[in-house]
């Protein structure tokens, strides 16, 4: 039994690492972090480093806590590798937000490499049906909910750069870890009743030489959040 290579993405506050092990002809990989820009290249490097004797690759995705559309490229790399090398490849234990992305994409969360999930795929337009049909109403409601979730996910993805910048500023200013900076932002958001991305934008703007300071309410909430971290 040997350890598999573990390429990683650096330069950001979060890192994708893909540790694993090889046992005879089977490789077990356990990605940890985020499936965002650059994740497909990291995976390709990991797969290229596996011994030629490997005929099966199993990925446990439980350690992946965030995924944007780059995660679909991650799956494409896996599918291409399996096809080119005639390997069996599986991905299991999709949870939380990444699992929801797969559902929204119409993929089978138990085996996304198998393609669309016939039972879970959501049509772009609700099929025509009698107005009195309970099935049609249920489909329309489900479609509406999923459309709202897609928009929320898009907003979350768009907000990540400024949130990451704010976390970096807090880490440099207060000597805290990435996780602690995240909790400070969340606590400030809750204390000031302000959206998280607006808190992050205010922190980022105030760090510029000519940037405006946060509002008094945000300053107070931020000070309380930082003080709470220090007491903890």
As a whole number of angstroms, the distance between CA 232 and CA 224 comes to: 12
Q: What are the CA-CA distances from residue 95 to residues 39, 102, 128 (Å)? A: 18, 10, 33
CATH 3.30.750.24 domain locations along the chain: 2-114
* Lowest mean pLDDT across 11-20, 86-95, 163-172, 180-189: 11-20
Q: Is the pTM of this model over 0.95?
A: no
Q: Which two tokens mark 113?
A: 């490499």
- Pair 138, 180: CB distance under 8 Å: no
Q: Which fold has domain 2-114?
A: Transcription Regulator spoIIAA (3.30.750)
Give exposure, 26-46, as e/b (b: 16+ Cβ within 10 Å). ebbbbbbbbbbebbbbbbbeb
Only one residue has tokens 């000031």, namely: 192
- Pair 202, 218: CB distance under 8 Å: yes
What digits encode the pLDDT tens for the residues 57-92?
999 999 999 887 778 889 989 999 999 999 999 999
């Amino acid at each position: 039994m040997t350890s598999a290579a573990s390429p990683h993405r650096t330069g950001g506050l979060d890192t994708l690492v893909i540790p694993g092990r090889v046992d005879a002809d089977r490789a077990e990989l356990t990605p940890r972090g985020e499936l965002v820009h650059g994740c497909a290249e990291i995976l390709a490097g990991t797969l290229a480093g596996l011994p030629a004797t490997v005929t099966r690759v199993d990925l446990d995705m439980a350690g992946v806590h965030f995924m944007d559309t780059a995660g679909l490229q991650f799956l494409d790399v896996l599918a291409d590798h399996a096809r080119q090398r005639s390997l069996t490849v599986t991905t299991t234990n999709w949870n939380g937000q990444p699992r929801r992305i797969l559902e929204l994409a119409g993929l089978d969360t138990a085996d996304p490499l198998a393609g669309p999930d016939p039972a879970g795929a959501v049509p772009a337009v609700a099929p025509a049906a009698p107005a009195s049909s309970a099935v049609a109403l249920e489909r329309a409601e489900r479609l509406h909910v999923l459309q709202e979730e897609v928009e929320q996910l898009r907003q979350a993805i768009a907000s990540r750069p400024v949130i990451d910048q704010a976390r970096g500023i807090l880490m440099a200013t207060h000597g805290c870890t990435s996780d602690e900076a995240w909790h400070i932002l969340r606590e400030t958001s809750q204390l000031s009743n302000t959206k998280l991305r607006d808190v992050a934008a205010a922190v980022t703007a105030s760090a510029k030489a000519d940037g405006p300071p946060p509002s008094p309410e945000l300053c107070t909430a931020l000070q309380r959040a930082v003080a709470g971290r220090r007491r903890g």
